[in-house]
Structure formats: C-alpha cells, structure tokens
Structure 1
Amino acid sequence: MTRQQPLDTLIDLAREARDCAGQVLASERRDQQQVATQLETLGRYRLEYAQRLQEAMFSGIDPATMHNYQAFLRSLDTALERARKALDEQQQRVASSQQHWQQQQRTLSSYDTLAARRAEQANRREQRREMRHNDEMAANALLRQRERDATHHSGA
C-alpha cells in the first residue's frame, strides 16, 4: 500500500490541477462570450447610426451635423476594431486554456492508468496467493485423508 500512496497523491494533485484549469477555461469562455456580445452590440449600434446618417442625408443635413455623424461613425469604427482585436485575443486565451486543460486531463489519465495497472497487478497477486493457499489446504486435506485411510486400512 505504501507504494500506491505517492501515486494517489499525484492523482489528487493532477485532479486538482485539471479542475483548476477547467475553471480557468470556463472563465475565459464566459469572457469570450461577453466580448463577442459587446462586439455584436457595437456593430448593431454602428449600423443603426449609419442608417440614421443616410436618412438625415436624404432629408437634407447641414455640414456641421454631417461632420459630427462622420466623426462619431469613425469613433465607432475604432471601437469596433478594438473590440474585434479584443475578441481575437480572447479566442487565443480560450484556445490556450483549452490546451492547458487537455494537458492536465492527459496527465490525470496517465496517472489513473498507472493506478489501474497497479490495482490489477495487486489483484492478480492476491488471486495467486489465495490459489496457492487453497492448493496448500487441499493438499493438506488430501494428505490427512490418505493418512486416515492408511491408518484405517492398517488397523482393520
């Protein structure tokens, strides 16, 4: 049993590392969804504002108002570009976190496989020990039976 204790400790540590990596991955995915939602909202807002500009131009618009619309659209375009970049970066963090989680899972699986092999070997050893014990008991019983039969036949 003492040989399995270090392996059990490694399994526990690997499970904790895998679970921690899973929590980080879940957090990164939530952040990715939030950034994607912000990007989508910003894109809709930009589209609506561009439509308002089109309507204003159709109705007639003074140059100062036109300039304000265009400046605001440029600022929205800049914000959209930043949001796209943030989403790309977040997607990279998610991919990295997923790779880290997968590595932790592989490590845990390796330790679990080792533990299963050890348990199987211990089980086989125990079965062989029991078989030897049963064989010895059967041999002793047979020997006693022969001795009784020999004593019974010689005394008869």
Structure 2
Amino acid sequence: MSSKLPLDMLIDLAQNQTDDAARRLGALQSAHLSAQQKLDLLLQYRQDYHDQLDTLMRGGLPSSQWRNYRNFLGTLDGAIEQQRAIATQTENRLDRGRTDWQQEKRRLSSFDTLAERVRMQALMVEAKREQRDSDERAARKFFDRASHPTL
C-alpha cells in the first residue's frame, strides 16, 4: 500500500496540473478569439469607410474633406496593425498553451499507464498467491488421504 501511495499522489498532482493547463488554454482561446474579432471588426470598419470615401469621391469631394478621410484611414490602418500584432501574440500564446496542455496530458497518461501496470502486477502476484495456496491445500488433502486411507 505504501508503494502505491506516492504514485497516487503523482497522478493526482498530474491531474491537477492538466486541469490547470486546460483552464489556461481555455482562457487563451477566449483571448485569441476576442483579439481576432476586434481585428475583423476594424477591417470591416476600414472597408466600409473606404467604400464611403470612394462613393463621395465619385460625386466630388472637397480637398479638406478628402484629407480628413485619408488621415482617418491612416489612423485606422495604424490601429489595424496594432490589433494584428495583438492577434498574432494571442495566437502564439495559444500555441504555447496548447503545447503545455498536451505535455501535461501526456505526463498524466504516462502515470496512468504506470499505475495500470502496477495494478496488473499486483493482480498477478495475488493470483499466483491464491494458486499457490490452492495447490498447498490440494496437496495437504492428497497427503491426508494418502496417510489416512479410511477418511
């Protein structure tokens, strides 16, 4: 029993670490999804604003208003690039989190495999002991009958 206890503790610890890694992975997935949605929103907003500028230019647009549109599009492009960088960072973190979770999962699986081997070994030892006990009882009965033929 004492040899099994440390393995059970390792399995519990590995399970907790796997669960923690899964929670972190979930948070990283949410952060990446949010960053990507913000980027998509900015890109759509830029496209809408660009389309609006094209429509206005076809009808004639004063140069001051054109400059304002161009300046705003430039500012929007800067925000898009920043959001792209954020989305890339969150994707990299997500990849690392996925790798961490997979490593923890493999570690837990290794401990589970080891525990199963220990259980199987214990069952085999128990089966051998029971077989030996059964053989000894059968041998005693045989010798008892041989030495006391009337019983």
Query: If the length of structure 2 is used for normalisation, what is the TM-score?
Result: 0.97
Question: 1:47 matched to which residue of 2?
Answer: 47
Stretches of structure 1 lacking an aligned partner (at least 5 in a row): none
The one-letter amino acid paired with 2:52 is R
Name the CA distance, whole Å, in 1 between partners of 2:112 and 2:145.
48
Stretches of structure 2 lacking an aligned partner (at least 5 in a row): none
- How many Å apart are 1:147 and its aligned residue? 2.3
Name the CA distance, whole Å, in 1 between partners of 2:145 and 2:42.
94
Amino-acid identity (%): 34
Question: 1:85 matched to which residue of 2?
Answer: 85
Question: 2:119 matched to which residue of 1?
Answer: 119
Runs of 4+ more than 4 Å apart = none
* Larger Rg, first or second structure (1 or 2): 1
Name the CA distance, whole Å, in 1 between partners of 2:71 and 2:19.
48
Aligned residue for 1:55, secondary structure, equals helix
**Count, aligned residues:** 151
- Matches of residues 55-94 of structure 1 in structure 2 within 5 Å? 55-94=55-94
Name the CA distance, whole Å, in 2 between partners of 1:110 and 1:51.
57
Question: 1:95 matched to which residue of 2?
Answer: 95
- How many Å apart are 1:148 and its aligned residue? 2.6
Aligned residue for 1:2, secondary structure, equals coil
**What do you get for the CA RMSD once the two structures are aligned?**
1.1
Question: 1:16 matched to which residue of 2?
Answer: 16
1:137 aligns with 2:137: yes
